[in-house]
Structure 1
């Protein structure tokens, strides 16, 4: 990844915004600028110089893996976060930004930093991270292609008698086999009436497990991470060929809402407007009250990033942003239907990066 370019670009943003320096404590922000996955604190100055502060536990890794242009400083064992922050700020002056500021830490250091105007300002980093560069796009494409393959493997497991936990365990193992690490997030596998819970059932041991039966609806939501970047994919299946008309019409309504929303995703378009389009489409079928979450979200280093594609969002689509589109309809005590893809927003359209067939929802 182009870490030097990112740091230089961000330093220029600091100068334009009037910040003398910026402190990153978020692991995903630190990864974005350095490629280091471990807990640390990163200082980026307006002149483009950067220093990363790490514990003795992570010093060896940082020394080996940090970009050459980033100075690595080993902290004393047991250094408290507030002590480190106070030490960094004592070397600075003027306006300093920070991505995350814990109130208790701020309370402890507020009397020690009179010469510094410390301002929480996460938007400075997000404004960069939201538009992916060509290298980021390529690894997300790879993660998306792998998600398609894992979804195929999961769908092949959907035989009556299998348990939710078994499908989840098998698809997790499939991710490990393909990329050598855990999924981008804990997969959601929900059978029957439990598919009406958008985040799936709460498992508290085998007593709460659910066995797959014929005529069940199944929701599977999974993601793969490649080189630190995520994909996100959901498909809903029906076990059998004798699908009732009510359920078939909901499948069609969800797919139509998804298609309409994706067709108007462009740079500069309001995210809340696109959500409205999907919601209005479902409203025409009397289903909008059963669409109980936002239409989508950004994807990148984190599985949930800006922009937020939902009611009241102030965000707009940016060129080369990667987002999800995932309308759903949930009828409690019956079933739920959600279809989701990872998309790349280009100048002309929203291009699907995941491509598992949307019309292959009958399993028999």
Structure 2
């Protein structure tokens, strides 16, 4: 963690930032290893060019120490003003950067405590550090991918006609924990027409024989890294030929994107490769979202694989490749893998069948 903090301090200096303030969330965990809870009492990492300190309530010092925090811990009592304390630690900083997810009430209180300072967003600064994964992070993402693959491999235990999406989703959620995650982040079970809504979760709709079901699931492992994978299923019957033809187009698009992605190509060009195939097959207006998102200690982070993002891929960047086709009122399909950019291509972290899985 010391190296990450040193890099944060250097990058802050290069951007003219005198102090970086980070409250509980993925940025704090990345920089300190401490997965602090976002409670009403302030926890705040203070990074200046002179030193790094963690401000915590006195009653949470033990938790921070147990998490292995390797820096000076500054505590405050129940009736103390933690924002005044942070202001004292920051000193005469002119430009203060705050993490993007800091509560508005915290930002206003800090501004009141430091009326002479200018405040800017610091999220991009930390994102620039997080976007290229270290080997330990790639290992953690690989383990998360294998864990969610094990859940997909068990889908036949739960997904069958006559059950509701909610019932199937509850079973999946238990399996996500059983297969090695610390928490369930999301469970999407989109049967029939519900599959045409990319962010549908679960409902009381009863799954029918022969209709397609989109299953998009993910969680966070004890190491703090996320999984996310989508596959398509049909149970108890044969799917409509029109759906099968549509899914074949989607498979071709996703395969082409995986084959194309490598260091030096832009994020938007990966999106364009699959989008072109889908459009040429007549489904262009049915691919209604970006191709993918970065992943790490958050399910969605940089880099985003979308038109307009000219970021060149680099070894260590981890992201999803998940084109989708959605026909309102009928069905939808999405194929999603998490991949990591290597020196000469990508490593695919999800390896369950990408064909329509018949249960």
Instruction: List aligned pairs for 1:180-219, cutoff 5 A.
Output: 181-183=182-184, 185-201=185-201, 203=203, 209-219=204-214
Partner of 1:14: 12
Deviations 1:283-338 (A, max 9, x none): 00110101111110000000000111123234332320110011111111100011
Given the alignment, which residue of 328, 335, 342 partners 1:332? 328
What 5-or-longer segments of structure 2 have no aligned partner? Answer: none
Deviations 1:232-267 (A, max 9, x none): 100011225633321111111111111112222223
Rounded Cα–Cα distance in structure 2 between residues aligned with 1:309 and 1:80: 43
Instruction: List aligned pairs for 1:17-28, cutoff 5 A.
Output: 17-28=15-26
Q: TM-score, normalised by structure 2?
A: 0.90
| SS of aligned partner of 2:179 | helix
Rounded Cα–Cα distance in structure 2 between residues aligned with 1:11 and 1:214: 58
Rounded Cα–Cα distance in structure 1 between residues aligned with 2:201 and 2:145: 25
Given the alignment, which residue of 28, 49, 60 partners 1:46? 49
Structure 1 moving runs of 4+ over 4 Å: 78-85, 101-112
The 3 A distance-change label for structure 1 pair 255 and 112 is same
Rounded Cα–Cα distance in structure 2 between residues aligned with 1:239 and 1:36: 43
The 3 A distance-change label for structure 1 pair 138 and 340 is same
| SS of aligned partner of 1:60 | helix
Instruction: List aligned pairs for 1:216-295, cutoff 5 A.
Output: 216-226=211-221, 227-240=223-236, 242-295=238-291
The 3 A distance-change label for structure 1 pair 84 and 166 is farther
What 5-or-longer segments of structure 1 have no aligned partner? Answer: 204-208
Rounded Cα–Cα distance in structure 1 between residues aligned with 2:234 and 2:286: 19
Deviations 1:66-97 (A, max 9, x none): 333x11122332667755554444x2424332
Please tell me whether the aligned partners of residues 230 and 301 of structure 1 are also in contact (alpha carbons under 8 angstroms). yes
The 3 A distance-change label for structure 1 pair 351 and 235 is same
Q: TM-score, normalised by structure 1?
A: 0.89
Partner of 1:308: 304
Please tell me whether the aligned partners of residues 81 and 105 of structure 1 are also in contact (alpha carbons under 8 angstroms). no
- Structure 1 residue 176: Cα displacement: 1.9
Rounded Cα–Cα distance in structure 2 between residues aligned with 1:37 and 1:111: 27
| SS of aligned partner of 1:124 | helix
| SS of aligned partner of 2:289 | coil
- Structure 1 residue 153: Cα displacement: 1.5
Partner of 2:349: 353
Q: Does 1:58 align with 2:60?
A: yes
Partner of 1:74: 75
Deviations 1:112-154 (A, max 9, x none): 5355343223211111100000101111100100110011122
| SS of aligned partner of 1:186 | strand
The 3 A distance-change label for structure 1 pair 180 and 312 is closer
Please tell me whether the aligned partners of residues 34 and 69 of structure 2 are also in contact (alpha carbons under 8 angstroms). no
Paired residues, number: 352
